[in-house]
Homo-oligomer: A and B are copies of this chain.
Amino acid sequence: MNNKFIPKLKIIPLGGLEEIGRNMTLIEYARDIIIIDMGLQFPEENMPGIDYIIPNIAYLKGKENYIRGVIITHGHFDHIGAIPHIMDRIGNPTIFTAKLTRAMIEKRQEEFDKKEKLSIYTINEQDQIQLGQFKVEFFKVNHNIPDGYGVIVHSPVGTVIHTGDFKFDPTPIGDLPANKEKLAKMGKQGVLALMSDSTGAESPGHSISEKTIMETLGKIIAEAKGRIILATFSSLISRIQQVIFIAEKLGKKVAIEGFSMKTNVEICRKLGYLKTGKKILISTKQALKLPKDKIIILCTGAQGEEAAVLMRIANQDHKEIEIEKGDSVIFSSSVIPGNERSVQRLKDNLTRLGADIFHVKMMDVHAGGHGFVDDLTEMITLTKPKYFIPVHGNHFMLKLHGDIAKNTNLVPEKNIFICDNGQIMEYHKQDETIVGELTKRKVPAGHVMVDGLGVGDVSNVVLRDRQAMAEDGMFVIILTMDGKTGKLVSDPDIISRGFVFMKESKRLIGQTKERIKRIVIDHDPRTSSNDTYIRNKVRDQIGQFLFTKTQRRPMILPVIIEI
């Protein structure tokens, strides 16, 4: 039989391998495709005005009928965020996910005005789901949102494990440790390929247990004389649980501030993912009537986000909470790259108002949700994969994670695949053994930018223009010309924004108008076919003139109005 006709198992990561974010992986065999995660990424600093970036799904066009299901590992936006933008374009296949993640997905879906309703099947860790020729199982992982699961995909060619986001926490709070037994069992049965979370690959040792974080937080909260304001991510449910446990122990009450955090807490309580003792949670109004040492306010805004609760408090813009001397503000989160300076300004403002600040640089008030080098090593030694594919990270992190795998001596170097987004991996049987190949072939995987209602309609031209105008502003020159004589019928009109302050630059504007007139007069006689020529000449010469005068390069836009 010719090799060509034996189907190969394909693994295609559509996102998450050249960035942190927009995680999405396809696993394909013959006419069966399953998708793992469908996340968004926040824009880079050279993408002004962009809301976020989603995976490119061009490869799935025409293959909609082969999609057997979408598996979502957990409820964070870098894993669920692209669902509202993608699902109805791929035929709305069934989503398989855990209870809490389902609620997060449904909550987000409400914010979008979609015709078709999602169809979601709620999974348990014990479930085995047949999706075409794939049999799919799940294993519990620790992360900083409950109900996170890794995925085991049994295919005709072999078993693929995708960890999702994970850490191994022997002492999590309000949760059980990850299911290492199931992983060890898979390791014994034989794992073809392991796709594992690389976010923590730069950090040596084991990730810090949530128990340690809880102890540090407990100490700060117990010792504080005034009120406690603790800011964290609204989706960091395990941190919220810790604070509630601490409050119970110390006889304090907790008020939640911030819409997204309130909603998440409501969802988690309803589904049983957040244990709250009797009357621990009260409203901010009630809290503010209690003695200061009885209050913990849990809120959003630890990243210095413009409109979040903590920023409004710092700007004295919050309608109920005002910082008083002696209040303790705890930043229980890492600072996402790009937010450092906003966070710094936020701390400055809170300090000015009299607050004492605690943050992660000073003590262990936060742990991330991702395993460090030792955890990553353990994942590999448990599963003993034949092939190893680091995922969820920038290329550099994938490479480091590849080195970690190499150091285990369990995976030969040639079986470690450091891939790009869109790059196709293939696995097939050859002489009784399975051979994997990282092919050179790529499916489209470029940035798809979401800006307002537009998905993918912001081109690089538009972005370049935004950047240019941000740098030195723009300068529109309107030439009203007689269509017959080619003469200016009036002085050129100038509109400038973001370049110089017009009121204070009258002289420069006057000189510029004189130059423009000279350029047009020099050019006489003119025919209308010369519009482009005049425009280019004005653009070049006025651009040069303004640069000489100011060393700035505004975007120059000459317009000719013919009358």
Binding site for B on A (CB under 8 A): 18, 44-45, 48-49, 202-204, 337-338, 340-341, 344-345, 347-348, 350-352, 357, 361-362, 394-396, 399, 451-454, 457-459, 461-463, 465-467, 469-474, 476, 478, 480, 489-490, 493, 495, 497-501, 504-505, 549-552, 555, 557, 559, 561, 563
Indicate how many identical chains form the complex.
2
Tell me which of B44, B202, B457, B551 contacts A501 (CB under 8 A). Answer: B457
Tell me which of B340, B348, B461, B474 contacts A474 (CB under 8 A). Answer: B474
A466 and B476 contacting across the interface, CB-CB below 8 Å:
no
Inside 8 A of A350's CB, which chain B residues have their CB? 396
A480 and B202 contacting across the interface, CB-CB below 8 Å:
no
Knowing A202-B361, A465-B473, the reply to whether A551 touches B453 (Cβ < 8 A) is: yes
A462 and B552 contacting across the interface, CB-CB below 8 Å:
no
Smallest beta-carbon distance A373→chain B, Å:
10
**Complex Cα–Cα for A351 and B399 (A):** 7
A344 and B394 contacting across the interface, CB-CB below 8 Å:
yes
**Complex Cα–Cα for A166 and B549 (A):** 41
A474 and B480 contacting across the interface, CB-CB below 8 Å:
no
Tell me which of B340, B352, B552 contacts A340 (CB under 8 A). Answer: B340
**Complex Cα–Cα for A493 and B361 (A):** 55
**Complex Cα–Cα for A341 and B394 (A):** 10
Q: A337-B341, A352-B395, A563-B563 are in contact. List 13 more A-B contacts (CB 8 A).
A: A45-B341, A203-B361, A348-B396, A351-B395, A357-B396, A452-B550, A457-B501, A469-B470, A469-B474, A478-B478, A495-B557, A497-B557, A561-B561
Q: Specify the chain B residue showing the minimal Cβ separation from A453.
A: B551
A550 and B501 contacting across the interface, CB-CB below 8 Å:
no
Inside 8 A of A472's CB, which chain B residues have their CB? 49, 451, 466
Inside 8 A of A453's CB, which chain B residues have their CB? 549-551
Q: Specify the chain B residue showing the minimal Cβ separation from A395.
A: B348
Inside 8 A of A550's CB, which chain B residues have their CB? 451-454
Q: Specify the chain B residue showing the minimal Cβ separation from A547.
A: B452
A18 and B348 contacting across the interface, CB-CB below 8 Å:
yes
Smallest beta-carbon distance A551→chain B, Å:
3
B352 and A552 contacting across the interface, CB-CB below 8 Å:
no
A394 and B347 contacting across the interface, CB-CB below 8 Å:
yes
Q: Specify the chain B residue showing the minimal Cβ separation from A398.
A: B351
Tell me which of B18, B480, B551, B559 contacts A563 (CB under 8 A). Answer: B480
B462 and A563 contacting across the interface, CB-CB below 8 Å:
no
B498 and A462 contacting across the interface, CB-CB below 8 Å:
yes
Smallest beta-carbon distance A313→chain B, Å:
15
Inside 8 A of A471's CB, which chain B residues have their CB? 48-49, 466
Knowing A467-B470, A499-B462, the reply to whether A452 touches B48 (Cβ < 8 A) is: no
Question: Can you list 10 A-B pairs, Cβ within 8 angstroms, ordered by A?
Answer: A45-B341, A338-B338, A350-B396, A351-B395, A351-B399, A457-B501, A459-B504, A466-B498, A469-B498, A489-B563
Inside 8 A of A561's CB, which chain B residues have their CB? 478, 480, 490, 493, 561
Inside 8 A of A44's CB, which chain B residues have their CB? 341
Knowing A452-B552, A473-B49, A473-B469, the reply to whether A457 touches B504 (Cβ < 8 A) is: yes
Q: Specify the chain B residue showing the minimal Cβ separation from A560.
A: B493
**Complex Cα–Cα for A506 and B476 (A):** 22
Inside 8 A of A399's CB, which chain B residues have their CB? 351
Knowing A348-B395, A395-B351, A478-B478, the reply to whether A49 touches B337 (Cβ < 8 A) is: no
Inside 8 A of A347's CB, which chain B residues have their CB? 394, 396
Inside 8 A of A465's CB, which chain B residues have their CB? 473, 497-498
Inside 8 A of A498's CB, which chain B residues have their CB? 49, 462-463, 465-466, 469
Inside 8 A of A466's CB, which chain B residues have their CB? 469-473, 498
Smallest beta-carbon distance A435→chain B, Å:
25
Inside 8 A of A337's CB, which chain B residues have their CB? 340-341, 344
Q: Specify the chain B residue showing the minimal Cβ separation from A550.
A: B452
Inside 8 A of A559's CB, which chain B residues have their CB? 476, 478, 493, 495
Knowing A394-B347, A470-B470, A561-B480, the reply to whether A341 touches B338 (Cβ < 8 A) is: yes
**Complex Cα–Cα for A459 and B503 (A):** 11
**Complex Cα–Cα for A203 and B362 (A):** 7
Inside 8 A of A202's CB, which chain B residues have their CB? 361-362
Pairs of residues from A and B, 7 with the lowest C-beta to C-beta distance, nearest first: A452-B551, A470-B470, A337-B340, A466-B498, A48-B470, A465-B498, A469-B469
Smallest beta-carbon distance A336→chain B, Å:
9
Tell me which of B361, B451, B480 contacts A480 (CB under 8 A). Answer: B480
Smallest beta-carbon distance A505→chain B, Å:
8
A49 and B497 contacting across the interface, CB-CB below 8 Å:
no
